[in-house]
Amino acid sequence: MAGRFEPLAGGGAAVALDEVEISILRSLTQQLAELIGPGEEPAEGDDPLASLFTEGPSEPPSDAALARLFPDAYGDPGKPGPDDDELQGYSAEFRRFTENDLRGGKRTAALQVIRSLDELAAQGKDGGVLKLNAEESQQWLGTLNDLRLTIGTRLEVTDEDEGGELYRLPDSDPRKPMVMAYLWLGALQETLVETLMP
């Protein structure tokens, strides 16, 4: 089971992680949660009902990784088209009413991953077997995906790079640890997807 998710009865999943893997996953997930941030929070003392209707940002994030995590809903900013202005307006409107919730969901999932890693680390210094129920498995899947998207964006990985030069970097290249993390997270994500498929 080392390094692979395996199915559990009831729709959950389990994976054996050692102390170093727990530490790396926790650190990366903490950084992801900080990058995502809480979104726009209502001011203290605001009506709780009004906070349900708090509008978020209308502009895409300037950080490339955040833009990858929270892409425009309409159109492709890299490929302008004849209705580009209209699509940007739709995307801005959609973003205003959804991005805060999306950020909150991603942050909640990341924090759950951190909690489960902390619980596993507390069981023993050498790691152990992490057991997730069906809901936790979905949170892990989303967070692993977000981690890969973020690291891939930082490394400027494209579809054409799959199996390309990034995977053959010399050990002296400063990008090598991030590439190794990217590949490892991809393998974890793939086995979790396989585990959760009916």
pLDDT, tens digit, for every residue of 75-115? 665 555 556 777 777 778 887 788 888 899 999 999 999 99
Lowest mean pLDDT among 96-100, 137-141, 162-166: 162-166
Q: Please check whether residue 97 lies inside any domain of the structure.
A: no
Q: Which residue has the higher pLDDT, 186 or 78?
A: 186
56 within some domain: no
Q: How many domains does one find in the chain?
A: 1
Q: Mean pLDDT check: name the lowest of 13-22, 81-90, 130-139, 167-176.
A: 81-90
Q: Looking at residue 78, what is its pLDDT? A: 55
Report whether 22 contacts 120 (CB < 8 A): yes
SS3 of 2, please? strand
Residue % of the chain over a pLDDT of 90: 52
Per-residue pLDDT at 148 exceeds 70: yes
Asked if the structure places residue 180 within a domain, the reply is yes
88 in a structural domain: no
Q: How many residues does the chain have?
A: 198
Please tell me the predicted confidence (pLDDT) of residue 163: 57
* Domain annotation covers residue 60: no
The answer to which of 16-20, 120-124, 133-137 has the lowest mean pLDDT is 120-124
Q: pTM value? A: 0.84
Domain that holds residue 182: 6-42+102-196
Distance CA 47, CA 45 (A): 7
Angle between helices 176-196 and 19-36 in degrees, nearest 10: 90
